[in-house]
Every structure is written in structure tokens, then in C-alpha cells.
Amino acid sequence: MSVKYLIDDCIVFEPLDSLIYTAKPNKDVKIVKYDIGDNAKDILLELIDSDGCMSAEELLEAVWRKKRNIEVDITSVRQAVSKLRKSLKLVAPEVDVIKTVPKRGYVLDVHVELFKDDRSDSNIGDSVRKRSLVNWFLFTTVALVTVSVIFLVHPSKGVWGSPFSEPEDIESHDFGMSVLQSKHHPVDKKLLPLFKQCASQLNLSSTDTVVIYATTEQFISLTAFYSKSTKEPVTFRIILPKVGDREGYKCVL
């Protein structure tokens, strides 16, 4: 099983291996996968994870200082973004994935979704056409909820190379499924009991893996992935009236 990003319905992004390739392959042509490298991979992940624009300085802080504990100049950051753009153009020349906002920075100017692919690369096009996808961007009049696109790690590769970890206060065997959370946006331990209650209410017994994610102070997202590839992933929101309030919360699609 692997979970991958689908960018603008035409580019597949595999963060674990830093690969991008077409989501609509020609049946007579072998898929060409491009290794974009760690810097470009992390830049793309940060932009996906961002609620809006990210400046070159913010990318420098997130990708180089925090993740690598090294210092580079802003020119190097801009060059890395330029290289990423060129790599994306190799896959989809007609699509401008990264937009420059004058005096602000960079933003993804395309729709990004998540899909789980249990089949071989030769069937990726069919998988996409069948729309085994989940819409990660839920907007309401009360709050903007941006659920970042994520990926799961095969147990043999371990969780250290992944942006996800297992919550300390949740035992997977209690639910009969794997439970992961974002290292960058972990759920407050005080709110984990709400996840347990919500998981019970939603009857997720047939779920293979659940990923929880603290999208904002008012929301926790919960995405359920099923072992059967014919069943689409489902994203729920745990809506909290106020932080730490265990009364009056509700789980909704």
C-alpha cells in the first residue's frame, strides 16, 4: 500500500522516495519517474502543508534551518524553488504548479489531493480515473480548514524517515488499526480522548489505517484508509467549540 499526492489531476508526487511522474501515462510508453531530491521534496511538502503563501525566508527556516540545521542564503532557496518548477514542468509542461506572489512569496496554484494506490505503476492511470481520492480542502463560513496531504510509511521503512509518528497515548491494538499523527502538526494530548470517542462513534472497525491531524485550534481532522482499494478514504472533522472542551464536540464528514 502507498499513499501519494495527486497534483492538478496530472502529477503524482511520492514524498517517501522524492519522486514525481505523470498520473496519465500512455499505455505504450513506460512511466518516467523524476527524482527531485530532498530539498525540492521538502519545499513541495511545505507548500502543500501551508495555508497560503510562504516567503523564501519561511522556506529557509522550515527546510534548511529546522530540518537540516544548516544556513544557506536566500538565493539558494530561490534557486531550489526554480529547480523544483523545472522538474514539475518535465511531467506537466502546461501546468504552473507554483505561483509567485509579488512581495509575499510562493503558493501552490493548483488543486492537491490524496489517493491510495495498492496496484502497480502500470495501473496508476486507472486508479486516478476511478477517483480513489479524498478532497482535503474543506471551507466553512466559520473557519478555514486546510487538511494537509499526507503519506503513510511502509512498516519496513520505519517512521523515522516519515513526517508521521504514532501517538504515545494511543495503542493501535485497542482499535485494531494503525494510528498515525503528523510530527509537524501533532494533536494535543489533552484532545486525544476525543479522537478515541469519535473513532468509536464512527464505527471504523473496517479501517486499515487512521491519520489524525491538528488542522487548527478548533478542528482535528481524521482520515480513514481502508484495506480494500475499492473503498475510498474518508475524512472526518472533530469540531471543538473551544480548545480543551470535551463537551459538545461532534464528528462530521
Give residue-wise pLDDT tens across range 15-73: 999 999 999 888 777 889 999 999 999 999 999 998 789 999 999 999 999 999 999 99
Do residues 95 and 186 share a domain? no
Domain annotation covers residue 134: no
Name the grid cell of 106.
510562493
Identify residue 33 by its one-letter amino acid code.
K
Q: Where are the alpha helices (DSSP H) in 65-171?
A: 67-68, 74-91, 124-129
Domain annotation covers residue 194: yes
Show which of 80, 108, 136 is a domain's final residue: 108
- Does the structure show a pLDDT above 50 at 159? no
Find out whether 237 and 251 touch, Cβ atoms under 8 Å: yes
User: What are residue 105's DSSP bridge partners?
Assistant: 101
Please compute the mean of the pLDDT values over residues 127-144 and round it to a whole number.
34
Indicate the range of 20-29, 57-66, 87-96, 135-144 predicted with least confidence: 135-144
> Based on C-alpha coordinates, what's the Rg of the chain?
18
User: What are residue 250's DSSP bridge partners?
Assistant: 239
Find out whether 153 and 164 touch, Cβ atoms under 8 Å: yes
Domain annotation covers residue 201: yes
Do residues 10 and 98 share a domain? yes
Show which of 55, 86, 108 is a domain's final residue: 108
Do residues 18 and 76 share a domain? yes
Residue 71 phi, psi (nearest 5) = -115, 130
Cα gap 127→9, rounded to integer Å:
12
Do residues 163 and 225 share a domain? yes
Number of domains comprising the chain: 2
Please compute the mean of the pLDDT values over residues 128-138 and round it to a whole number.
35
Domain annotation covers residue 182: yes
Find out whether 236 and 252 touch, Cβ atoms under 8 Å: yes
Domain annotation covers residue 244: yes
- Residue identified by cell 489524525 is 212
So what's the pLDDT on residue 229? Answer: 52
Do residues 164 and 243 share a domain? yes
Domain annotation covers residue 121: no
Do residues 83 and 178 share a domain? no
Domain annotation covers residue 139: no
Strands (DSSP E) contained in 30-131 are 34-35, 98-101, 105-108, 112-117
So what's the pLDDT on residue 165? Answer: 76
Give the range of the structural domain holding residue 206, as residue numbers without chain letter: 153-252
pTM above 0.75, yes or no: no
Domain annotation covers residue 227: yes
- Does the structure show a pLDDT above 80 at 133? no
